Structure 1
């Protein structure tokens, strides 16, 4: 299995995925809590949701052949090549506010998104 590993310092927003400082901090906190140092946040995009496409977040310890791996401050995010086409130029963020805490995608490719922020259209 091969994957391209890049750091946030070398990523260009228009052609890759980046992680905010808060997202990196939260991924590292969750990996430490699970005592799984190889744990990565996997982001996938699939058809569905109220706007056409939806984001899915899961933790994984494997990198598949068609995955791209992104890293910031030791936190790792893995995205398959098909999902990355829809996420290109996006930033993964971790939000904490009155309604809760959650990972969010700031996707410049989305022409609209639903109120819950988990689905979008292009």
Structure 2
């Protein structure tokens, strides 16, 4: 169970909308990977497999390491001039790039 990460209603609605277009049993996965211009980047993918270290909230999966880096965060879905996107407000992030996709801790 993912307790320390908040999902806005808009994010949940968009995740459910995206999953409705996938095969039954699919999950929405949020992960943090190394890379990007600031050191880490958020990754949003679809998965059909629940791994041993995954934390689950409804149809959302986050691996334990990523969940630790996302602790206290809010996941939202926003419409901006550059397009629609998931936006994560992460209190552990020390800095982020201009596009908001990568960050440093």
TM-score when scaled to structure 1? 0.78
Alignment counterpart, residue 66 of structure 1, candidates 46, 49, 53: 53
Per the alignment, residue 75 of structure 2 pairs with 92
Provide the alpha-carbon RMSD of the alignment. Answer: 1.4
Unpaired runs of 5+ in structure 1?
A: none
Question: For residues 25 and 48 of structure 2, what CA distance do their matches in structure 1 show?
Answer: 5
TM-score when scaled to structure 2? 0.90
| Partner SS for 1:82 | helix
Question: For residues 91 and 5 of structure 2, what CA distance do their matches in structure 1 show?
Answer: 11
1:23 aligns with 2:11: yes
Per the alignment, residue 115 of structure 1 pairs with 98
Question: For residues 17 and 82 of structure 2, what CA distance do their matches in structure 1 show?
Answer: 21
**Are the counterparts in 1 of residues 72 and 90 from structure 2 also a CA contact under 8 Å?**
yes
Point out 4+ residue stretches in structure 1 off by more than 4 angstroms. Answer: none
Unpaired runs of 5+ in structure 2?
A: none
Q: Cα deviation per residue 1:74-93 (whole Å; 9 max; x = unaligned)?
A: xx221111111111111111
Q: Aligned pair count?
A: 105
**Are the counterparts in 1 of residues 19 and 28 from structure 2 also a CA contact under 8 Å?**
no
